[in-house]
Amino acid sequence: MVLSNLFWSYRPEWYDLAFNVWSCLLHIHDTSYTFEQLLLYVDEWLATYHTIPVVQQDNAFERKITALLLERTMGAILVDLGANDFYEKDENKPYLQHLLGLHQQLFNHLAHKLETM
């Protein structure tokens, strides 16, 4: 959202990796899914990324991916979640509220993590 636009050709380094995580997090349709489970899920993605040789060579990868995930989380909160037709149905509104709460917690977590790096 902030760093991407369909009409721009520029994408920050590792944007495609953050995009994978963001896309998966938008599709959580389980109101029992906890924030701790969400963090574990993100950590599993990052652990997999750390096995990629070119990622291993980037000493700033952790800071970059955290900033990119923060940006994607902000986009999800501001636009992506509300723009999904799935949540327009009354029976799906609890999923939206739960997912919005998870993303707000993730935003706070990532902002703190980035601040302390």
Cα 19 to Cα 115: distance, rounded to the nearest angstrom: 21
In order of 13, 26, 56, 62, 69, the CA distances from 77 in angstroms are: 23, 10, 31, 22, 12
Rounded Cα gap, residues 93 and 88, in angstroms: 7
> pTM of the entire structure?
0.89
On average, the pLDDT of the chain sits at: 92
| Mean pLDDT of the 24-47 span | 96
Count CB atoms within 10 A of the CB of residue 15.
17
pLDDT at 6: 57
In this predicted model, what pLDDT tens digit does every residue of 49-68 receive, in sequence order? 999 999 999 999 999 999 99
What gap in Å lies between CA 107 and CA 10, rounded to an integer? 24
Look at residue 82 in the predicted model and tell me its pLDDT: 86
